[in-house]
Structure 1
């Protein structure tokens, strides 16, 4: 701390050299000067907000804000702080404006060394006056707000001043006592003692202290501690304290100190000026400062300016007329050493003395562990949420209290009921289950089995449930440990059509129980508010880095191949700006400099209707890409190395046919045509083994009619009874119809009739041929299967691949007239 002789000066001048020169001369004039310099008014205000200064010296002509404007800013919070305008631009107008604005002194810069002597003297005088006035105000305030009763008597023994505490002790108002004689407050039996003992002692020694008996306005008496002192002007200053009240206060204070000293939580008391008046040992321990350093200091000692402002806002709420009795809020405490400590501040106001605000009291609680647990929970929930939202099944997660922690949109689609995943969060799971059960053929069993098996923390794996709409669901249950307790994860998947769903569900269960990603799919999340990026373990593995690696937007983009970085950046930006999801296949360069292919998907993450980030999945597809590349290489070989010799053979066959006539030539021609068909189907298999990403509305009747023209069916015909439009890849759907028409012509004869008709959720293609035996229907889609000597065995396999790529389903059954019927379902129709 500075002594009374020390003078801390804030010098603001936009010329740093002059400011440093002034500081040096002031130091030479008086070692007690300490000068802090600033080169602008804004920098000066910043220094003033976080430091204690005894006076300010400022230039006038400065950019942005001149000296008088700076003075007006200072006067808003420091109306009495000495402010000397030390400027090279002197004029009566400036001086007058400065005086009107409340400047303490005005001094013009000169090119003489003694100007600094003048400046130093004026600063010393201004600071002395400032400190003296500050002390007088403090004394006056101390008298006016003191709990001790204080009065002043003139030479005639009459009251000329009485503070409120003094008047309260005797049961009067101050104005009732002023002008009255001191005998007003003594019983008749004690006035002689005052005249004969107290007043003579004061006249001789200037001071007397002891016990007297006080007389209240209501006639009651009490024992009081009484002190009388004589001033230089022969006035008497009296101080009185009611011993009974003092004893009660001392007892209450002792109890308060005993209580807070035994508390493990840090306790502090701020006086009416906002400075520390009291702290307990626990407070000293957490902040790491000595008690002497804390008492009298501003909260800026342990808090940032932002935290101090927030605390003052909360104090303002407490002091408002309809404010609460106490407030609770989170802050960060900056100890003498180490990182900031997150704390919970419970703040209240000290009891008022009359109308006077006495200060505030607070209790701090270190919430570091709670914050860490909360952060751990948020991270766990974030990873879990990313997984839940991207799982291809209905998922509902319960917390330890059996309330819904999260659910995905797929849950409603799977159960066949409208569910808003956001609205269901926080609801009681039992209540939610009651709403779901009408969808099941055995609703009571649906509820009972949950309650019974939850009690023992076990449930049958892959349990099948029958829905009223005929679909079959597979349900699974996974215990899941969260930081706050045991959670339950319910998994629902439609297993009516796909046999592979059981295997995928088991993979999902294994992941959830081990807190890993589903199969080889990783999850990631980008929070645009904080710029933070989070990965699941699978993403770390794909990139070839360990879990200690801290992903950022920059280094994540850096993993992508240079030629793909702009593409992925643009895709993420479109999600953030337009909410447009993406599904990309790109290259990355791993930490081991290995180039790999990945499929990355991203979709908008919304809160309160606003896009706050991107969430998505990340999957290594290197093997698939390499297999696809090999297929494409194979297709190239087939197209070039087989077709060219085939074309040559076909050409020479034509020449031979012109020169001679032989029955063997037809066999050769059929063999060459057979080879051409094989090559076409092999190319289709090699090039079309990929997902459908570009769909558009396609009219089924129109495309069926066009495909009829491309297939040789002799006298065969195609009847189209469907009038629907579907979302599909037009080129690949064309292959479906052509292959099915060709299959019907090969197996149904020259006069086969093919019908294209409509189903509730799709369409069918049937013929009136011989049909497909029941025991062979599972094999018709396998590569190489054909009932015809002219068939390649690839056509129906190509159909199956294209149907799967559209996420449709296909099955073989009997036709209306005994032929084969291919039903394609799970089709998305375009609404009319």
Structure 2
């Protein structure tokens, strides 16, 4: 049997006690303490620990059950054998009922009698040791599971190793224990600041000793005698027993002792359990670090929300929204979504229960800027509770390119229409007139051909302008409306028309295209306000035109959201207010119908809105709004 057995033998017959000790020594490894008196036996129980108590029944004033009571008060689990010549069923029954382990009746004092006693003692002690080991094992396992919860809070590898070593010393009762992790071409102890009784020198190569074999095979090794092992290379001659356990694929947990066979299978199992908890913690930290790196360095905004509150946001979310992380955690996340898209985003988010979803929506930044975002959402568990993880990618530039492509396609279609339709008529007129001119020589046909060619030139100029002015404005400047409008007025043949700036404004715009817009509006006012078109009650006024010259006014809208250009001419029929900005629409015999269409294209390129209405004097008034103001500037 592994380990000697310490026996307390209580018998009032001193000679029989000596005989019992002699025979037990013959049949096993026993250390027998013999006492005759109850009082001496009780003192011995108080002072020392025994693996088994063997007691006679009749001890004079006391009996064996009195000794049993004292033993049980001290240790309820130590085996107690009643070994007595006073044999009866009542005595045996009382002894077993009182907690005796076994009952054995004395015989003639033969060798076989004591051999039986030795076997009974060994059997009882073996069972008791097994029970005690199982109980210790259960306690260890419970405590190791508690350590697992502690390891879940570790945030660095060094914290994991330190917690693991503390548990090995406190729970597994390993005296010399250390963790070895591969670094470059050697194994190094971890953590470096661990205050153990012994730390091995960093003298282990990646292919040397038990540590290398354990690390490479991923299998534990329990060695009873390190000095006799062909694999082990103990760094101290005092080391005899050894235990080596892999910590996943990250490190090796080792324990050594100066006693051979110091570690058993329970030690190995418990060390493996501890190592598995440590390996799980190391994997978690590695995954968290990788995840954190991916999330924090992601070009996408990554966030987790529960209800309408953010539980996590990376720095990119702050960059995309203009709010700092603390502000984001305090706000209702739905406030970030444009009010026109909010209901749609909320409704689609609920369908993430069925699987990840992707959609696009507008987000309003802290500074009020509206950006287009591609939003993906998936349901997850976060901190043990149901949550949603989302990713946001800014697609504003892509949306602009798509809108620009759509506008380009529309302009190409308009260009094709002009080429296929609008240019055909003047081209046919020019060709027919030249043919008649050749046949007749009449000068009027040459004039007709010249007029047709002029119209074709005007159409081509306007169509090219329409194509060029519609591209999106990417980097507008801060310009003064009065300065740009004045420059535009000087470029238009205005005759006796007058020009006034009612009030100025500084706006963000492409200066060249804004000037073109003003030129087209001024030209539209002048060309549609000839003297014969201006009436008081439907009758044309015939004079030199100076009295009825049109007056054009430019000014800022009252709410500061844009500007207007208006005149006191005949105005635009109310039914035409919605169509005048379409290509080819004109009320003039000489017009191409592209002047206001170009205005609409330039406005659209700036993301402005444009509309036609009636001026105070009954003329035409063109308003442009959603125009970004350039504040805090002086002319």
TM-score (normalizing by structure 1) = 0.37
Indicate the structure (1 or 2) with the bigger Cα radius of gyration.
2
TM (norm. structure 2) is 0.46
